[in-house]
Amino acid sequence: MTDIFAKYAGLKAAAAGLTAHSPRNPFGVVIDHPVSATIGVIEGRETLLFGTNNYLGLSQSKAAAEAAIETVRREGVGTTGSRIANGTFALHRALETRLAEIFRRRHCMIFSTGYQANLGAISALAGKDDVLLLDADSHASIYDASRLGYAQVIRFRHNDPADLDRRLARLKDHQGAKLVVVEGIYSMTGNVAPMREFAEVKKKHGAYLLADEAHSFGVLGEHGRGVAERDGCEDDVDFVVGTFSKSLGTVGGYCVSNLDGLELIRLCSRPYMFTASLPPEIIAATLAALDEMQARPELRKQLQANAGQLNRGLHKLGLKTSAHVSPVVAVTLETVDQALAFWNRLLELGVYVNLSLPPATPDQHPLLRCSVMAVHTPEEIDRALQVFGQVKAEILG
Amino acid sequence: MTDTVESISSMIVEKLLANPKVPRDIDGNSKIVEDLAFDSLAVMNFVMEIEDELDVSVPLDKLADIRTINDLATCLAALKSGAH
């Protein structure tokens, strides 16, 4: 009998090599429980959380928790069905209406996760006779969507509208629809897309533009609608995909558009149709989180201030960070051994960040992915920077 | 100038050799993943450099069938001549 796991021999060796040089499995961290949005108990110690996607701190929103509790008592814990069968409650429709209003679009579909939102929207929009043009640093959900949808897939250089322009020009005789996919803020590096330039290129070539604002919703733009709002080009972005599991603190995803065809996607998008819909308490908590996000614009201002403090602080320590100031700050290191030692020491000193290793990183270098929240205090950020400084001296000299 | 499989293959080898980490003894029959120790991301990024050189775009599904440098050159020559 052929060993079904034989193909993972390389992965097994790589994982064993990692844990051999690390006192703990970097991909098996357990947060025993959160104490607050910014502090969790890890290995029995209160640890500052600088590696989440909880940009506004709303995972710990009291109002969202109360809404969930009240709803779960009234409606139960789950729907047990697909959106196209028994899985659409009035709450699902209410959340779709609410998101459409927030984005000032006619249509909204919600999905059970952000991953499925990309998978479901992109795979259904770009079919076998179409061309999908992806930023080279796209999230796995976007690449996976491209495999589910059978479209021809072409990568363009990361955040490079001129490269997209060249590639669309080469497709001038192609008869299929062209869908360009970019992200607002890139999750690993914190890089921000030049959305207006991308929008100009897509208009020039008659393509569609889909922006994944997963990490920028609630973060950028006067009303928190993301990079397209900040850059004043929302009308030229045909589809916006996003998630509830970042700034809104819950789980789920959405796609909004002014194009009426989006409603047809409900009847052909497999990741939308063939999975259970979101539980009602999650919908209620998400609606409450949206209320809070809109009622407290000061959270976005504080988030930007905190992002500046963390970014400048890491830069001042002589660490290599992106030029973009966003709530995600990636520290690039040279070797995996360095990154592993750095990451372990940070955790031992009470600071949790994400460790990201090649090939999951854009340029073959390991990253320490740090993210900041609106609810981090300046003292907490200073403490994290102090620990970073200490560990840098210990590990890098 | 017409881009032949041979000329494209030579150009690819030349570009690869500019990277000091690539073994010195590669030729058109070298396997990109096994002999050059490229992971999937490195292959995609390297192909981007070649695309610029030849002014073509290689759809990702085409990469799945490519094992050797000559396979890549054959694919690029076909794209260049508009056969795909």
Q: Strand A178-183 and strand A152-156: pairing?
A: unpaired
**Cβ-based contacts of B56 with chain A (< 8 Å):** 170
Query: Is the dihedral angle over the CA atoms A199, A322, B52, B30 positive or is it negative?
Result: negative
Q: What is the Cα Rg of chain A in Å?
A: 21
**Cβ-based contacts of B61 with chain A (< 8 Å):** 152-153
| Residue B84 confidence (pLDDT) above 60 | no
**Cβ-based contacts of A155 with chain B (< 8 Å):** 44, 48, 60
- B40-65: per-residue pLDDT in tens? 788 888 899 899 889 999 999 888 88
A152/B45 touch (CB, cutoff 8 Å), yes or no: no
A146/B41 touch (CB, cutoff 8 Å), yes or no: no
- A332-386: per-residue pLDDT in tens? 999 999 999 999 999 999 999 999 998 778 778 999 999 999 999 999 999 999 9
Q: Does domain A9-49+297-395 have CATH number 3.90.1580.10?
A: no
A10, A18, B32, B64 from B39: Cα distances, Å: 12, 18, 9, 13
CA distance A292 to A61: 8
In angstroms, the separation between the Cα of residue A41 and the nearest Cα of chain B is 36
Facing residue for A155 by CB, picked from B39, B44, B56: B44
Best probe of the B interface among A11, A152, A356, A365, by most B CBs < 10 A, is: A152
A79, A91, A219, A360 from A327: Cα distances, Å: 34, 31, 8, 20
| Residue B23 confidence (pLDDT) above 70 | yes
Torsion angle, CA of A322/A327/A328/A334, rounded to 10 degrees?
Answer: 40
Residue linked to tokens 């844990």: A19
CB count in 10 Å sphere of residue A305: 14
For chain B, give every domain's residue range: 5-80
- A112-150: per-residue pLDDT in tens? 999 999 999 999 999 999 999 999 999 999 999 999 999
Whole-prediction pTM: 0.94
Facing residue for A155 by CB, picked from B39, B55, B60: B60
Facing residue for A359 by CB, picked from B39, B56, B57: B39
Q: Give per-residue burial for A351-370: e unless 16+ CB within 10 Å, then b.
A: bbbbbbbbeebbeebbbbbb
Best probe of the A interface among B43, B57, B58, B61, by most A CBs < 10 A, is: B57
In angstroms, the separation between the Cα of residue A97 and the nearest Cα of chain B is 37
For chain A, give every domain's residue range: 9-49+297-395, 62-295
From chain A residues 175-234, the ones with a CB under 8 A of any chain B CB are none
- A146-172: per-residue pLDDT in tens? 999 999 999 999 999 999 999 999 999
- The DSSP call for residue A7 is G
Query: B55 — alpha (psi -120 to 50), left (phi > 0) or beta?
Result: left
B42/A364 touch (CB, cutoff 8 Å), yes or no: yes
Segment among A40-44, A231-235, A272-276, B15-19 with least mean pLDDT = B15-19
| Residue B83 confidence (pLDDT) above 60 | no
Q: Strand A367-371 and strand A354-356: pairing?
A: antiparallel
Q: Which CATH architecture has domain B5-80?
A: Orthogonal Bundle (1.10)
Backbone angles phi, psi at A273, to 5 degrees: -85, -35
CA distance A184 to A205: 21
Q: Strand A131-135 and strand A178-183: pairing?
A: parallel
CA distance A122 to A124: 5
Facing residue for A152 by CB, picked from B41, B42, B61: B61
One-letter identity of residue A374: A
Residue A287 tokens, joined:
């609606």
| Residue A105 confidence (pLDDT) above 70 | yes
Q: Which residues of B are catalytic?
A: 39
Separation of CA A188 from chain center = 9
**Cβ-based contacts of B55 with chain A (< 8 Å):** 166, 170
**Cβ-based contacts of B58 with chain A (< 8 Å):** 154
Q: Which fold has domain A62-295?
A: Aspartate Aminotransferase; domain 2 (3.40.640)
Asked if the C-beta of B37 comes within 8 angstroms of chain A's C-beta atoms, the answer is no
B44/A136 touch (CB, cutoff 8 Å), yes or no: yes
**Cβ-based contacts of A166 with chain B (< 8 Å):** 55
- A63-100: per-residue pLDDT in tens? 999 999 999 999 999 999 999 999 999 999 999 999 99
From chain B residues 11-30, the ones with a CB under 8 A of any chain A CB are none
CA distance A135 to A124: 19
Query: Angle, to 10 degrees, between the axis of helix A114-125 and the axis of helix A140-149?
Result: 40
- A223-261: per-residue pLDDT in tens? 999 999 999 999 999 999 999 999 999 999 999 999 999
A271: nearest Cα among A282, A248, A287, A255: A255
- The DSSP call for residue B68 is B
